[in-house]
């Protein structure tokens, strides 16, 4: 990520509307400026007393189809793309209001959210910005799935995926996360699914809002979307997008190299639990000078 010494928020209120991927319900979302040390909080304006909850890993209640946070009987679903934007654009504090339980899917990527946040502008605040500094590797491994974070002077993600499908196969991608890289190489990568899985989900009442307008759908030997892929390796780029969103639920930016192999929302969340349990492997710091700045490399590395 871009290295900032002070916290940041959006400069003004912005809004967008769409439908929920799984609910199929219309929803309007508003992003408002918030004070220092506020973090990212979601407010359900459709419920009595407009309850709110922080976007934090210990609020996660479901990761089966998307990342869902909840508390005291109410939920906010499918937060990962919006949260990836806040992290990728280095926005620390914001109030997110929505009038339904699911964040709109938009075009299946984080691109529309990035656009509205950039249109609002991002304002630096007086509060110091804290980072998680990785001191020694932390690993979670189960079969051929793994997530590991290594010490690094910048936030880097390397992702490896493998699907038994001729249009996906093995894909690997590695980036140093900066605002420019996030906007140009990651934010526009769309969620994807296989046709038989989409049909199954719809049959059982899920993915009600899913369509070729908001997801890449893969048949046996072709992409069903008329426009095709936005990137040749859009699939692994979207997995990196999901990772950025899931890791944003740590509550603070991280300086470390995250390496993922065949991971998804559930396994990412399990790793976050281990991350906090392995307290001796990291520390929180304020970066008070630019000693790391020359080591930040806002570029991507295709493997």
Beta strands 254-261 and 68-71 are unpaired
Choose, from 22, 81, 238, 265, the residue flagged as catalytic.
Answer: 265
Q: What are phi and psi of 202, to 5 degrees?
A: -65, -35
In contact, 95 and 55? CB cutoff 8 Å: no
Q: In whole angstroms, what is the distance from residue 193 CA to residue 28 CA?
A: 25
Three-state DSSP class for residue 73:
coil
Q: In whole angstroms, what is the distance from residue 43 CA to residue 31 CA?
A: 10
Beta strands 122-128 and 6-10 are antiparallel
Exposure string of 246-256, with b = 16+ CB inside 10 Å and e = fewer, is: bbbbbbebbbb
In contact, 275 and 269? CB cutoff 8 Å: no
State yes or no: is 265 an active-site residue. Answer: yes
Maximum separation of any 2 CA atoms in the chain, in Å: 55
Exposure string of 276-303, with b = 16+ CB inside 10 Å and e = fewer, is: eeeeebbeeeebeeeeeeeebeeebeee
Residues with a known catalytic role: 265
């Amino acid at each position: 990520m871009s290295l900032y010494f002070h916290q940041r928020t959006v400069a003004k209120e912005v809004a967008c509307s769409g439908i929920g991927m799984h609910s199929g319900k219309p929803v309007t979302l508003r992003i408002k400026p918030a004070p220092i040390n506020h973090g990212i909080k979601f407010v359900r304006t459709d419920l009595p007393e407009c309850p709110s909850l922080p976007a934090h890993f210990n609020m996660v209640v479901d990761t089966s189809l998307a990342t869902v946070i909840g508390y005291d009987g109410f939920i906010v679903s499918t937060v990962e793309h919006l949260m990836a934007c806040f992290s990728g654009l280095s926005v620390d504090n914001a109030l997110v209001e929505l009038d339904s339980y699911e964040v709109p899917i938009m075009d299946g990527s984080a691109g529309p959210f990035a656009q509205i946040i950039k249109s609002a502008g991002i304002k630096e605040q007086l509060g110091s910005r804290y980072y998680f500094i990785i001191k020694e590797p932390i690993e979670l491994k189960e079969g051929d799935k793994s997530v590991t974070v290594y010490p690094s002077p910048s936030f880097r993600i390397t992702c490896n995926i493998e699907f038994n499908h001729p249009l996906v196969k093995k894909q690997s991608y590695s980036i140093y996360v900066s605002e420019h890289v996030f906007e140009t190489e990651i934010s526009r990568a769309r969620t994807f699914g296989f046709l038989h899985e989409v049909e199954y989900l719809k049959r059982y009442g899920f993915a009600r809002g899913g369509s070729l307008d908001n997801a890449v759908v893969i048949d046996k030997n072709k992409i069903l979307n008329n426009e095709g892929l936005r990137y040749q390796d859009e699939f692994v780029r979207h997995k990196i997008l999901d990772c950025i969103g899931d890791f944003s639920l740590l509550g603070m930016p991280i300086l470390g190299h995250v390496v993922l192999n065949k991971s998804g929302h559930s396994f990412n969340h399990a790793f976050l639990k281990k991350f906090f349990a392995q307290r001796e492997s990291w520390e929180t710091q304020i970066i008070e000078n630019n000693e790391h700045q020359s080591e930040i490399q806002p570029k991507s590395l295709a493997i």
